[in-house]
Each structure stands twice: as C-alpha cells, then as structure tokens.
Structure 1
Amino acid sequence: MRSLIALAFTFLVAGCWFDTEPDVVRLSGETMGTTFDITAIGDELDETTLAAAVQDTLAEVNAKMSNWDPNSEVSVFSASSNTEPVAISEEFALVIEAANEVHEKSGGMFDVTLGPLIELWGFGPRKPEDPVPSNSDIQRALAAVGQDRLLILDRNAGTLAKADANVGINLSAIAKGYGIDAIAGALAEAGVENYLVEIGGDLVAKGENESGERWRIGIEKPETGSQTIQLVVPVADLGLATSGDYKNFFEQDGVRYSHIINPVTGRPITHRTTSVTVLAENAMMADAWATAMLALGQENGLKLAEEQDLAVFFISRDVTGDEETYITVTSSAFTNVLDSD
C-alpha cells in the first residue's frame, strides 16, 4: 500500500564530539518485504551483540505483525471467523490503538481494514486486462471496511474482537514503523544513545551523527527512476516516514489509478499530491500519518496538520498538469524543524 521513498544519509564533517573516535556499527539486511539499514554510534559497541538483538527483535515483530506470514498473530486473527473477544499481545494492542487514533483524527482516511478495497483495485497481482471496479463492487467492498465499526479493542481486558466474521487487518501502513521503534528500543536497552534505524525508507533517528550534529535525512523528489533529493531535513529524537503514489499505479483508458485508496469513497485518490513526509514522536505514528496525509492530499491534509500540530511536508504536481513540475508546502510544525537547524 505504501511507496517508501525517504532516503537516509549522514553528512560527515571534520570534528567529532567523542573524546576518542567512536565505534560505528552498521547493520543491514532484509525484512518485511524490503530492506533495513542501521547505524549505531558509541563507545565499545559489540557488533555481534547488536546484530543478534536486531534479528531477535525483527523476528518478534514479524511473528506478531506480518501480513505475509500466515502464522503471525495478525494473520491468524484475520483468518478466524470468531467474533468473540480474543486475547492479543500487548504489542498488537499498541499498534491497533495507534491505528485507531490516526483513523479517528484523520476522519477515517487511515484504515487497517482496507484490505477488501486493495484487493478489489488489484494492488497487487493485477493484470492489464482486468476491468476497473464497478460502483456496485466498490460499495460491497466498502461494507467490509471501517475499523471504527468493525474492530472492538478493549485495552483494559487486552482483547480484540470483530463485528463481522469476515473482517481482516492489514498492518502494512503502520507495522513497519512499529518495527523501527522496536529496534530502536533494543538498541537503547543495549546502551546505544546515538543511532539511525531505517526500514524501507522510514526511520527513527536518535541523538547525533558522527560529526555531532543531528542526522541529515534526504527526502526524494517524486520522480520514477530518480533518486534526486528534494529536501534535506535535520532529524533528532523523531520518527520520519514518507508515503508516495508515483511508484505504484496503473493506467487504463487514459486514466491513472493510484495505489493509495480513499477509505471513505473506496476509490484511488485523484488529487495532485504525490508525496507526503511526516515527522512524529516515533516511526509508528509517522508511518500511519504519512499514509493518512497522502490520502487526504495537500489541501485537506495541511488543515488537519495545523489543527493537530503535525510536522508534514507535501509535494504536489503543478496545477498546469506538468508531471515534471512540483509545488512543496510545509506545515508550521515542519517549518519549525527546518528553522531550528
């Protein structure tokens, strides 16, 4: 569902804030259908210990949140036809609670029950000859979408229930952010105070880079096949996520259909906003809000960002229709981050 386009990098300059040159541990690999890159900076870091902590954490996250693993907690819950409350892990409950918060504040533009619409529109194994869904097909799918109606979370009891036996949960727009935060927690437990954790373009940055500055994060210009940097953002002690619609879409009869689907209308977005970057207190909330803000688009998203004091950066196609020209807009909170550099 997401297009993962934020690129992370560090500017290294002369001078260092350690009395002696620090240990720098870099770890990378594959997870959640994408890649991860981690940089940890500190004194006397043990790469083997940190690598084991990262792999253990990723295994735990996938065992609970992976929609690709039929035996994961979310997959088992989705496959069950039981409508009675089911005991769930604290981690699963935390993610659903965060999803509920973004769902409510965004007017339903973030929804973890969006699966029927994703499948209906053919993201993913769609064939070029497949027809565009009819209005009646969309309405039927919409009946099975709406986490505020269809999921009942009881945090006190630690349970989750379905209002309909056929309801499923897709965590692709929030679980990656949760995984990033979980790795950050594992690094903190190991005593690492300065790190950058990135999975599929979304990330969390803590402390400072090797030059004693905030981490410098490049936001990619929304052009297919390009890795040109649109903006560099200084980040410390925050999560960052970018969502874009320009790498996953299909065209039929001259109409472009984005993979970002409006959960209210049941149709792909039609506005000109093509990329949204969100800074938040952690990667999980940045991940969810980036999806919600892209679904909303710049005009409605900026209003909500100001109301909620969210740090959001919008990139939209020029109103002339020139695909190579873009307009950028930042919320006040995002501008404050840039001005504090």
Structure 2
Amino acid sequence: MHAYSLIKIWFITICLLVISGCSPAKPASEQVQLNGNTMGTYYVVKYYDDSPIDSTDLQQQLDTELELINDLMSTYRPESELMRFNHHNDASAFAISKPTRLVVAEALRLAQQTDGVLDITVGPLVELWGFGAKGRVEKAPSQTDIDQARAVVGYEKLTLTDNGLIKAVPGLAVDLSTIAKGYGVDRVAEILEQNGISNYLVEIGGEMRIKGTKPSAQPWKIAIEKPVNAGQTMQRVLQTGDMGVATSGDYRNYFEAEGVRYSHLIDPRSGKPIQHHTVSTTVLHPSCMTADGYATALNVMSSDEAIIFANRYNIAALLVVKTDDGFIELASDAFKPFLTE
C-alpha cells in the first residue's frame, strides 16, 4: 500500500430523474439514449424528437467531436495541442485552434474576474501534489517545492493574441480540466440542435446541459443527493429549465498522508489544496463551460467568499458545507428561485 489511502465518504452527486430508452428513430413519446466514454469519464445523451433521426449517425457525430476536443485539450495525450503548447518553452506565439482559443479566452476571463482563483496555469502545482498525469505522490511536497512551482504559475503570465498563446516564463503549463468538460457538453448540445433536436439532456461526467421538456411538457428534473449513511436520498430536486449545470467537489479525488487529507482542488493563492469545509458547489448558467469554471472557482473559495462573489456577479450557485452538526446548504440569491422541496 502507498503511505496514503483513499477514504470513502458520502458525497454530493447529480442524479438524473429520467426514464431511459435506447432505440433509434423513436417517436416523441419515447426517449432515445446514447452512451459513450470521453475525457476519462462517461457521457450520456437523452432526447425526444418528432422526426426520425438516425441515432447511429448522430452518435458518430458526437464521438467525432468529443475525440477532437480530447486531441486538442487533453493533458493525458502527449501530442494534444495543449501539451504541445506546454512543451513550447520560448517566447514566440504558439498557434492554437479556434476551439482551444474559445476555451482559453473564457478561462482567462474567469481568472481575471476571480482574481486568479480559477487559474488554468495551476498545472505544475496539480502535478506537484499528485493529481496530474504523472500520478499520485506518497507525501506532501515541501514548501521549497511549492514555491518553485508557483514561480511558473499565474494566469497573468499567459497571453492570448491574434497569433496564438504566449507564455511569459518557460515551464508555464496550461490545464483546461476545470472547464473543458463543460465545453464538451456545450458542443454536444450544439450538435443535437443542428440535427433538429430541441428536447434533450446532455451529461459528461456530471456536467450537464438541459433544454426543452419531456413529453406532455414534463420538465427535466435533476436531484442533489444527501450525504447520509443510510442509502441514497434526495436533498433537492431542481427544475432548471434551459440551462447548463456543473458541480465541483473535493469528495472524490484526494489522498491522505500522515493523517492529513489533501484535496485535488488547489488554491493558486497558497499553492496548496483547499482546507475549508465546502463539500460541493453546483452552478447553473446558460453555458455549461462557464458553469464548469465558476463551480471550480467557488469551490476553491471559502463558503463565505463564494456566496459574496456569486451574489456580486449574479451567479446561481448552491454550496453544501460540512459542519459539526451535519451538512448545510448555502444558496446565492440567483439560485434560490430554483430550489424546490
């Protein structure tokens, strides 16, 4: 065994309260479901439509698009566009594709808005703490190692120009994992709409886009689970309407060394994993890519800081926070209309 061990804890996850179907070209009263793997996780597409659609051809379109996104933005593929930029260590601009440019531009906008809490250059710190492509570490890094990694971290050291991306210091690396899944969800939704589908639910590893309704104008519903020991029970049922939904939490990816639990969520301000008690953050936004980025940033912030930020920028956010007496919810003003009993 390694010096660390995984601890099983009850966690908050998004559940889909929908009826599954799988056959192509079904009438609107029946659901079509497509499943696959991407970005190190799974995807699920559920839709209804009146017109006959070849679901095999549709799935091929989705798989082709998701494979492209992986080829562009994965940090686990050595020849991806992103990894080639990360190994590009001179001051010249590195040309990037339109999809990568769009995702990086949004990430930099969120980085500036959050004062660097969301920072796609945090990759060296992620690797240092054992949560990157190189795999787990057996002990926490030294402060000296943290300081050295922080010297090549900082979104302000990354510039997006008409000619491409420029890094101010050699060794700076970009990791888009905090926002790329949301972008993938948005692209899948766009492909569905290009095929005339307007009633759908898309999920990639917990990040979602929802549009339209089920038959008879029934709304799509999602649920947030309670972290209880006696089975799985619902904490909240949400009817989001046409919306992207993203959740960030530190309940799945962590390690323990010498009795200390280290989250995979790194606070760029300290260079260390978060230490507060927010278990999960769910954000609603028309763009799943933007929701994905906000969910990560708000989960890195302390709960008080996160709610203040969400209210300032009218972000619909729900935090689940662990206390000595159990778990409590903190909802931003923009999220409260979505809460149902």
TM-score (norm: length of structure 2): 0.88
- What CA deviation, in whole Å up to 9, does each residue of 1:182-238 have, x standing for no partner? 111111111111111100011111111234233101123346996543221112221
Partner Cα distance (1:92, 1:238) in 2: 23
| 1:159 to 1:144, Cα distance in 2 relative to 1, 3 A | same
Aligned residue number for residue 58 of structure 2: 50
- What CA deviation, in whole Å up to 9, does each residue of 1:264-312 have, x standing for no partner? 1111111111110000121101111111000002110000000000000
Partner Cα distance (1:70, 1:221) in 2: 39
Q: Which amino acid aligns with 1:333?
A: A
Picking from 153, 160, 170, the partner of 1:153 is 160
Map 1:15-26 to 2 at 5 A. 21-26=28-33
| 1:224 to 1:34, Cα distance in 2 relative to 1, 3 A | farther
- Displacement of 1:169 in angstroms is 0.9
Is residue 292 from structure 1 mapped to residue 297 from structure 2 by the alignment? yes
RMSD: 2.2
Aligned residue number for residue 310 of structure 1: 315
- What CA deviation, in whole Å up to 9, does each residue of 1:241-269 have, x standing for no partner? 11111222222333222111111111111
| 1:199 to 1:256, Cα distance in 2 relative to 1, 3 A | same
TM-score (norm: length of structure 1): 0.88
Picking from 199, 211, 226, the partner of 2:204 is 199
Q: Which runs of 5+ in 2 are unaligned?
A: 1-10, 21-26
- Displacement of 1:24 in angstroms is 2.6
Is residue 281 from structure 1 mapped to residue 281 from structure 2 by the alignment? no
Partner Cα distance (1:232, 1:295) in 2: 25
| 1:256 to 1:212, Cα distance in 2 relative to 1, 3 A | same
Picking from 28, 35, 40, the partner of 1:33 is 40
Q: Which runs of 5+ in 1 are unaligned?
A: 13-19
- What CA deviation, in whole Å up to 9, does each residue of 1:136-193 have, x standing for no partner? 2211111111112x21002xx2521111221111111111110110111111111111
Q: Which amino acid aligns with 2:36?
A: G
Aligned residues: 322
Partner Cα distance (2:164, 2:12) in 1: 32
3-state SS in 2 of match to 1:235: coil
Is residue 83 from structure 1 mapped to residue 84 from structure 2 by the alignment? no
Q: Is the 8 A contact 2:28 2:49 kept in 1?
A: no
Picking from 126, 136, 139, the partner of 1:126 is 136
Identity, in percent, stands at 39
Greater relative contact order (Cα 8 A, min sep 6): structure 1 or 2? Answer: 1
Q: Which amino acid aligns with 1:300?
A: E
| 1:120 to 1:226, Cα distance in 2 relative to 1, 3 A | farther
3-state SS in 2 of match to 1:87: coil
Aligned residue number for residue 164 of structure 1: 169
Q: Is the 8 A contact 1:102 1:289 kept in 2?
A: yes
| 1:270 to 1:223, Cα distance in 2 relative to 1, 3 A | farther
- Displacement of 1:23 in angstroms is 4.9
